[in-house]
Amino acid sequence: MKMKNFKLKKYLPNTKASAIILACFLILGLWQQTRSSWSATLIHLNRLLNKNIFQSGAVNGHAITTRLDVPFHRQEHSLSCEIAALKMALSAYGLDIPESELIDRMPFGPMNSDPNEVFVGNIDGRMPTTGYGVYWSPIAKVGNAYLRSEIFQASPATVAEHINAGRPIVMWGYFGRGSRIDWTTPEGKRIPAVMGEHARTIIGFSGDIDAPDGFVVMDPIYGEQFWSTSDLFSNWLPFDKMGVVIYPHSKWVRIEGSPTIWEISSDAKIKYPLAMNWARFLEYGGVPDGVKLISSQELSTMTNGFLIY
């Protein structure tokens, strides 16, 4: 299609100026990428040194008891809220893992499949016709490739306890009215489903641990929000208040020169290989001092296990 009377020179007087402008944008982009990598490393280092782990203050006028230092990440696909919420939860420990890598670890299935097993439909689709989402079990399995990720059923007190201990939580709720759109899988399993299903990351709370009056939530679309306890749990109820809590690693070790990182059981008898190797650990902001070097002889005394929680 022709565009008449459009004078390009009016906006870019000469090619030299155009080249300078383009170079400035490229330099700015590279600087932003480098800064992001350093930020992840510094966050992880601060946590390793037990500095600035929590912030307290106010969100929208509400006094906050504990707030985790979690940066906002906007979901990159129309239905990738669960992946984005997991990414934000992992970033509480300084790991800056691309959404694309988390998605690559996620199994996918067609519409009318089971969200407890796979991501249902197209991640760039539209609910409820071409895409839906995924529930807690597959998200926990993806999270376990990086950090200990446990499924749990929430209460206000247990959520506050986790947050107070530094552990962010991925929760399931909904947008809009939350009307039911249940379906039956080809295998005959009835799937409870909600229109507008949406995952968020809980990063803070207000009030007492035993009886919190509200929570700070990082929404992968709208950013940081404050929800009263009653509103949050009402929104969570259609999903039986199921969530995924992300723990820091307890004991990570490796043999010097080896690319494999192992998580060691509390009794030091079982070793679990992480999907994230040494190079990726460093790339995503991991701090070398957080992984202990041990001898091959010591590692060989441990039984091989699978990293399942």
Each residue's pLDDT tens digit, 174-219: 999 999 999 999 999 999 999 999 999 999 999 999 999 999 999 9
- pLDDT of 248 reads 78
- pLDDT of 208 reads 96
Per-residue pLDDT reduced to its tens digit, 276-307 = 789 988 887 676 777 889 999 999 999 887 64
Question: Over 50: is that where the pLDDT of 3 sits?
Answer: no
- pLDDT of 274 reads 80
CA distance 107 to 138: 8
Alpha helices in 96-218 (DSSP H): 99-104, 136-143, 156-164
Overall average pLDDT of the 226-240 stretch: 98
- pLDDT of 263 reads 82
User: Phi then psi for 37, rounded to 5 degrees?
Assistant: -65, -45
pTM: 0.69
Q: What letter would DSSP give residue 131? A: B
- pLDDT of 47 reads 38
Q: Is the dihedral of CA 45, 212, 199, 149 positive or negative?
A: positive
* More confident call, 69 vs 146: 69
